[in-house]
A and B are shown apart, each in its own frame.
Chain A
Amino acid sequence: MRKTAYLIILSAVLVLSGCSLDRSNPLDPNANDIQVPPSITGLLLASNVAGTVNIKCDRYADVSKYKIYRSLSYDGSYLMIAEVIQPGQNTKPEYVDENVQPNGYYYYKVSGVNAQGLEGPISPYKGIRVKM
């Protein structure tokens, strides 16, 4: 009886250790030779003109475009509002958000996408009050 119990436990361990799903996503860096885009830094927000928000971040060479996310609260759900194509050298990626209410609070995040289409980690949020 004890032998049977050991056999069942051993089989269960083997089943558990042997079972895992394939990493079949073609963009998965764990299964393919793909570099993960870097986490975007240097996120800058400015609202110098009433009813607009100017968003800038650092430029990364191995990024082909940048995705910009916006939310009404810092811990709310962030929706992608724009994709910014990689600008020329020595120029920072920039986007002007005009779809905001004056005097409203908005929170932004940004991420980089590489040439294969893999999106990197999303940056920490930054918030701003829109100029009236």
Chain B
Amino acid sequence: MKKIFISLLMLISAAIVMAQDFDIRVFADTLKYNWNSPQSRYEFRDNLKIKNSLLQKYEKNKINIGLNISKSAVIPGLGHFQTKDYLRGQILLSTEIVLAGTTYFLYDKAMDKYDQYKNSTQIDVMNQFYTEANDSFKQASLTGFLFVAVWGYNLYDTYVVSKQYNDKLWLDYVKKENEKRIKINPNGITIKF
């Protein structure tokens, strides 16, 4: 019991020694944010208000990058259409359609020849059908690989384009705000010439 009392006493003493004095002048220092005058404080507050309203507008209109990538995953190029990058979207979409169609056509041809190979009993016919089936299958594999590669690039590019779109959107809002000639704020009306 005595030991506990002594320990508590020591702790309290240490806390008193270590404690700093609360200085109201430091706490209320208006210069710490470079507010040299009430005017600068009002300007800071106005800017904060403007930026907040811009941020709300931006949040409402910005593109959700994850959702945009998902859209591009389902339909290649759709993410680009969302960012109004129509040319790249059209190129990616048409490339994927052509590659998918070619892959399907070649694979179907390969399987058709392969069935003929499996049913053939004459050595020359068998070898000919096998060679044709294998050639078509390899071509289908190549176009299928290209399809997957373009699809992957489409996802990556959607990420880049969406990010660029959002960055541009924010810069546009800031630029438009700065270009406003007349501003109404608690300090009064500001007119730029």
Contact = CB atoms under 8 A, between A and B. Distances in A.
Contacts of A120: 122-123
Interface residues of B, number: 20
Contacts of B122: 111, 119-120, 122
Nearest to B149: A8
A90 interface: no
Contacts of A121: 123-124
Contacts, number: 54
B141 A24 contact: no
A117 B121 CA distance: 7
A24 B123 contact: no
Contact of B141 (A19, A28, A37, A117): A19
Question: What is the predominant secondary structure among interface residues of chain B facing chain A?
Answer: helix
Given A25-B130, A119-B122, A121-B123, 5 more contacts: A16-B141, A25-B117, A28-B126, A29-B123, A36-B123
6 contacts: A8-B149, A16-B142, A21-B130, A25-B117, A120-B122, A120-B123
Interface of B: 110, 114, 117-118, 120-124, 126, 130, 133-134, 137-138, 141-142, 145-146, 149
Interface of A: 8, 11-12, 15-16, 19-21, 23-25, 27-29, 36-37, 111, 113, 117-122
